Amino acid sequence: MNKQAAQQFNIGIVGLGTVGGGTLEVLTRNKQLIEQRVGQPVVVTNVATRTLRPEQVAGVPVSGTDPFAVANDPNVDLLVETIGGFDPAFEVVRQALANGKHVVTANKALIAERGNELFALAEQHGVCLAYESSVAGGIPIIKTLRDGLAANRIDWLAGIINGTGNYILTEMSAYGRLFADVLKEAQELGYAEADPTFDVEGIDAAHKLTILASIAFGIPLQFDKTYTEGISYVTPEDISYANDLGYVIKHLGIARRTPKGVEMRVHPTLLAKSQLLANVNGVDNAILVHGDAVGSTLYSGPGAGAMATASSVVADIIDLARQQAAGVGKPVYPSLGYTQMETELRVLDIEDVESEYYLRIPVQDKVGVMARIATVLETHNINIEAVIQKESESDEVPIVILTQRAIERELNKALEEISEHAAVCGEIIRMRVEPFHGGGN
């Protein structure tokens, strides 16, 4: 790091796309305000980008297209990584940390999948890797979990943490539209990528949930153990049945501490209409957190976009600039908020999770089918809470069942047995239902 820290805090930015460009704009537009809050000049001294727009970097030194030139610049105190992906982002961040520079990143995939390694490197070199902007855009949920709720034992958290998925389900719910039609519109509006897999199949949300769970429970980052399910199978029919039962369907990331271990799962979820998260619509994000002291608190706002994400990037920059201005050499907090991680706390397999369930079972309209299904469920200790079976003009009719709490392993056994019944004439749809009552289970 620059030894002239008391005089000026120097920033290098690699990547000037949506987030990087927004970060530079905020740093420039709010320069006086930022420096009043820090107590010393905060200056962008080096930028590397593949998509240079002269008007965007007026007066800012540019190192061309090589991000390693910024990572190796001895005058840079902090590197902002907004390249995205793993290559070359991982090596650039690793090089900057090894050179004794703080790093701020918006790269949730990098943190979720390689964060353990990078945090250890940052600690080894006495610098900080900050990542507020990696989860939920402009919502300061990382600082809230790590600092604002530090006195609490976090029992659970649940979030709408992908704006694309929330937009799609909102439109399907409001207008009865098909998934494919709304996805196409989301792409045209710029809410979804040309390849929407990360968003609609839950991978983006799983990266974010991995980070949130690690901070909430003090466990190492374990993306590979986060159960992930997308929304592409959700139909207007399911949304309509859920509505009849008093629920809406949201794509949630859920992390919960239980006596058996930690649940980490992303999937479509039925929520009662009265739930706070049930009323977060469009592209907004929201995270509901339950702490043993404070109870349930909700954090909502824009989860993406240039300015919203840049707001969180610059907030991290200000934190580290203040630290340097105060003459604090070593980072004042561990990256994940814990000096000792809970390495013995296991992540549960989805089959060990206990939940309520929504089932839609397509059957031939014959006498005794419902009774047979009820018997199979009862055999596996699964009690029925509610049933919808509407009349149909055809020989096929869906039976919709809401169950009480059951172990997923037992439900899977029951559904396998039910699917073998001669009257079942299509794929059984299963979604989880979450009441979010009080503390941990």
CA atoms within 13 A on the CB side of 331: 29
Catalytic residue among 101, 108, 143, 208: 208
Selection from 356, 362, 337, 371 nearest residue 406 by Cα? 356
Q: Is the peptide bond before 236 cis (omega within 30 degrees of 0)?
A: no
Question: Is 402 strand, coil or helix?
Answer: strand
The β-bridge partners of 406 are: 355
**CA–CA distance, 400 with 114 (Å, rounded to integer):** 42
Token digits of residue 73 = 């610049």
Please, are residues 436 and 275 in contact by the beta-carbon 8 Å criterion? yes
Q: Return phi, psi of residue 204, to 5°.
A: -60, -45
Within 10 angstroms of residue 343's Cβ, the number of other Cβ atoms is 9
pTM of the model: 0.94
CATH 2.60.40.2480: does it fit domain 141-300? Answer: no
- Per residue, the 3-state secondary structure of 296-340, as one string, reads EEEEEEECCCHHHHHHHHHHHHHHHHHHHHCCCCCCCCCCCCCCC
The answer to whether 208 is a known catalytic residue is yes
pLDDT tens by residue, the chain, 441 residues = 444 444 899 999 999 988 999 999 999 999 999 999 999 999 999 999 887 665 566 667 677 789 999 999 999 999 999 999 999 999 999 999 999 999 999 999 999 999 999 999 999 999 999 999 999 999 999 999 999 999 999 999 999 999 999 999 999 999 999 999 999 999 999 888 889 999 999 999 999 999 999 999 999 999 999 999 999 999 999 999 999 999 999 999 999 999 999 999 999 999 999 999 999 999 999 999 999 999 999 999 998 889 999 999 999 999 999 988 888 766 766 788 888 888 889 999 999 999 999 999 999 988 889 999 999 999 999 999 999 988 777 788 999 999 999 999 999 999 999 999 989 999 999 999 999 865 544
Domain coordinates of the chain in residue numbers?
9-138+306-325, 141-300, 354-433
**CA–CA distance, 171 with 262 (Å, rounded to integer):** 32
CATH of 354-433, one of 3.40.50.1820, 3.30.70.260, 3.40.50.300, 1.10.3720.10: 3.30.70.260
Question: Is 124 strand, coil or helix?
Answer: helix
Q: What is 9-138+306-325's CATH topology? A: Rossmann fold (3.40.50)
The β-bridge partners of 159 are: 253, 287
**CA–CA distance, 74 with 344 (Å, rounded to integer):** 40
**CA–CA distance, 354 with 265 (Å, rounded to integer):** 12
